[in-house]
Amino acid sequence: MSSVKIESVVLDSTRCGESPVWEEKSNSLLYVDIPSKKIFRWNSLTKQVQDFTVDSTVSSVAIRQSGGYVATVGTRFCALNWEDRSSSDLCSVDKDKKNNRFNDGKIDPAGRYFAGTMAEEIAPAVLERHQGALYVLFPSGNVEKYVDHVDISNGLDWSMDHKIFYYIDSLSYSVDAFDYDLHTGKIANRRSVYKMEKEEHIPDGMCIDTEGKLWVACYNGGRVIRLDPETGTRLQTVKLPTEKTTSCCFGGKDYSELYVTSARDGLDPDKLSRQPEAGRIFKITGLGVKGVAPHAFAG
């Protein structure tokens, strides 16, 4: 048995780190800091961090097949050119909801961009309810609303056989599943596969491993949990040294390292002094499981 090890890989902390994505070709981890309007790229070989500032909150980032990246900025889907730090809008959503912003997003196995919105918060997880929605940006440029009346659209991933879409609306305290049609991208038949326990707090970002188990970052819970969506049970808990753990993805050589983002916003000065690593990016090794490569936007 290997032993689980946790280290922070970037010393600069984020206010609300999110959307970790492993980019194999640059041996790098991409992630965002939502309120700072920044996207980061940490090179695991040189340990250098590059950044890209956009004009609004940036809540998710993804690799684009044709080069560069795509991201959700404010209520827009954008294309990014990292070389000259330029961005262009692909389309926008929630035009009737001035107080909304995008939150988590990820590319599906066919290259579509799934991303959801939420109302702006008064304090972490305190907001006007049911204002968000889950959208899908197709490679053609069309955008469709898939789920309406969402509180905080969050973690998402797809089963290994591409037949199930897993989704988290944080304030439901549940991890849900939908039937998923790879060919059309349609989802149907929503059900809960896991109900959060009290000490796990709020379900946030999520990723799947090659055994089909889900890793969920627990906001306020200071942990990632590994769930079996078939039995609705928790298989493992890995505690982190700070409570606002926000999202996770597998990366590194063979996708055997789990990267976890975290936040420092929302911690009072007392908690901050007791959690000096709040807002950092963590790498967990020795888990004995692997993840899958991220998909790339096909548009």
Residues numbered 182 to 241 that lie near Ca ion (CB under 5 A) are 204-205
Please pick, from the candidates 78, 202, 207, 267, the single residue that binds ligand BGC as defined by CB under 6 A.
Answer: 202
All residues at 6 or more sequence positions from 231 whose CB lies less than 8 Å from its CB, including other chains: none
Q: Count other C-beta atoms under 10 Å from residue 84's C-beta.
A: 7
104 is a site residue for Ca ion (CB under 5 A): yes
* Beta pairing, strands 49-53 & 58-63: unpaired
Binding pattern for the stretch 246-275 against ligand BGC, x by CB under 6 A and - elsewhere: x-----------------------------
Q: Are 42 and 29 in contact (CB under 8 A)?
A: yes
293 is a contact residue toward ligand BGC (CB under 6 A): yes
The yes-or-no answer on residue 204 being catalytic is yes
Strand partners, 117: 102
Nearer to ligand BGC, 61 or 202 (CB): 202
How many other CB atoms sit within 10 Å of the CB of residue 253? 10
Q: Which of 161, 251, 156, 154 is nearest to 211 (CA)?
A: 161
* Residue 206 Cβ vs Ca ion, minimum distance, rounded to whole Å: 9
237 beta partners: 225
Separation CA 119–CA 97 (nearest Å): 8
The whole-angstrom separation of Cα 163 and Cα 264 is: 36
Q: Is residue 111 at the binding interface for ligand BGC, with CB under 6 A as the rule?
A: yes
Q: Does 154 bind Ca ion (CB under 5 A)?
A: yes
CB-nearest residue to ligand BGC = 295
Task: Give the residue, chosen from 116, 287, 295, 299, that forms a contact with ligand BGC under the rule CB under 6 A.
Answer: 295
The nearest distance, CB 266 to ligand BGC, in angstroms, is 7
In the list 34, 133, 177, 216, the residue contacting ligand BGC (rule: CB under 6 A) is 34
Instruction: Give catalytic residue positions.
Output: 204
